[in-house]
Chain A
């Protein structure tokens, strides 16, 4: 028995050096985490309770993920307006319109509108956490952090700097009980935490640590992502795990949760050959940055994005539900009933929540209609799959 394919988590970047360890490494070992290399980091793929149990716990209570491998980047310069203007030249978000304490999702694009990376952009309140987050605070993917920093340094004008924060960890607490559990751990911050809506952040003290907490995540559930000083991360994680509602969860569950939630993973649903429009991310490009808007275009690949918004892209990201029990995984070719190749699967698993195989794929626009039957090539035979709406599991973000 040997692994023929490994679709979750994404394959680690081959690296001759020893994988880096997060500040929680010792805690993962004490908890019995199965440590694997991922994007140059050593991280737990699962704990003794197992990936499916961890997944279900995030849907029903509160799961704690170590996502310290993600790149935390501060931008500094002559004021928010100057930094936001400079950042808008690199991506299609409305950064200038970002209110204090808010976060937005966007993508760095190439001249052809391919996605270099997807990221979160936050505007912390002036002086939050003594100013350690800068005027604009980014969270980028681990595997692309170096590329992103190079892109920022090349693309930002003199006087605006991008600095990766190596002395901070990042925890994600996800699930319907996440915020309540966090409020129990930090009663003094309960009012602030309870007031946060989806994609709103605040500086709060948690277990004695000055943290930046944003109500967001990568599971489709309510929850928070917490940036905490590296030397206080273990104490905070232990305080959270001491709460009856909280269980640790690894990268495996993180991947199946985001797949059910229909969320993109760079390297699978996104890469430099895929545009945000093909990926179904047009919602993240606001009117003000589109044709006719006050600050239309002006980012790499804007002409391609505009053309695809106008005419529709030639291929689209879709969800697939398999009609049999066999998992349909990353890389599987898709054919139509006539045997014509029409696309490719980019992520797939057997969904713990839906209890059937789910996948995301890119298919020709003509085959992207919900309910269409296609055939995924699995070990030489065509497994029938149905094009399905995303997400597979409804999002439960706290928007109101």
Chain B
């Protein structure tokens, strides 16, 4: 299954049947400007879909990170903590934020695919 997107400008990509990686989109990092700080969730913490799981800060603003699906955080990107600008340079790969164990993989089905997300950001 391919990468999915949310209206909050996050992406989530399944890594196997019940885990996925979460990050922010190219559009999100562009809107934020230079990212200087990330507040990542605790490994082992559980969050419901839509809950605030972290914060990303640029020189000009702070933005909340929402859980695209319900689940438990199993890993966070320590490289991003050390070098927050990764979120600008490579938001869809090296600049990932955290990995989750999914409560319910079917929640992914309701999210946008790349085409639908592009249509949203083109508005």
A contact residues vs B (CB 8 Å cutoff) = 1-9, 34, 45-46, 50-52, 55, 252, 255-256, 325-327, 329, 349-350, 352, 379
Rounded to whole angstroms, the CA-CA distance of A252 and B58 in the bound complex is 11
B63 CB contacts on chain A under 8 angstroms = 1-4
At the interface, yes or no: B108 with Cβ under 8 Å from chain A? no
Rounded to whole angstroms, the CA-CA distance of A9 and B66 in the bound complex is 25
Contact A3–B62 (Cβ < 8 Å): yes
Secondary structure call for the B interface: strand
B61 CB to closest chain A CB (Å) equals 4
The one of A1, A2, A51 in contact with B60, judged by C-beta atoms closer than 8 angstroms, is A51
A52 CB contacts on chain B under 8 angstroms = 34, 59
A-facing residues in B41-80 (Cβ within 8 Å): 55-66
- Report B13-32 CB contacts with A as 1/0, cut-off 8 Å: 00000000000100010001
B contact residues vs A (CB 8 Å cutoff) = 8-10, 24, 28, 32-34, 36-37, 39, 55-66, 88
A5 CB contacts on chain B under 8 angstroms = 61-62
Residue in chain B with minimal CB distance to A46: B33
Among B8, B9, B55, B66: residue with most chain A CB under 10 A:
B55
Contact B60–A325 (Cβ < 8 Å): no
B56 CB contacts on chain A under 8 angstroms = 1
Rounded to whole angstroms, the CA-CA distance of A160 and B52 in the bound complex is 57
Additional 5 contacts, C-beta under 8 A, given A5-B62, A379-B39? A2-B64, A4-B61, A51-B59, A327-B36, A350-B57
A349 CB to closest chain B CB (Å) equals 6
Contact A6–B66 (Cβ < 8 Å): no
Name 8 A/B residue pairs within 8 A (Cβ), A-sorted.
Answer: A5-B61, A45-B60, A51-B33, A51-B58, A51-B59, A51-B60, A325-B37, A327-B36
A350 with B37, Cβ < 8 A, contacts A2-B63, A2-B64, A51-B59 known: yes
Rounded to whole angstroms, the CA-CA distance of A50 and B36 in the bound complex is 12
Contact A252–B59 (Cβ < 8 Å): yes
A50 with B33, Cβ < 8 A, contacts A1-B66, A4-B55 known: yes
Contact B33–A45 (Cβ < 8 Å): yes
Rounded to whole angstroms, the CA-CA distance of A52 and B34 in the bound complex is 7
Contact B59–A4 (Cβ < 8 Å): no
Rounded to whole angstroms, the CA-CA distance of A52 and B88 in the bound complex is 12
Rounded to whole angstroms, the CA-CA distance of A9 and B58 in the bound complex is 12
Among A2, A3, A5, A45: residue with most chain B CB under 10 A:
A2
A50 CB contacts on chain B under 8 angstroms = 33-34, 88
**Shortest beta-carbon contacts, A-B, top 6:** A350-B36, A6-B61, A52-B34, A8-B60, A1-B9, A1-B63
Rounded to whole angstroms, the CA-CA distance of A9 and B61 in the bound complex is 9
A4 CB contacts on chain B under 8 angstroms = 55, 61-64
Contact A256–B24 (Cβ < 8 Å): no
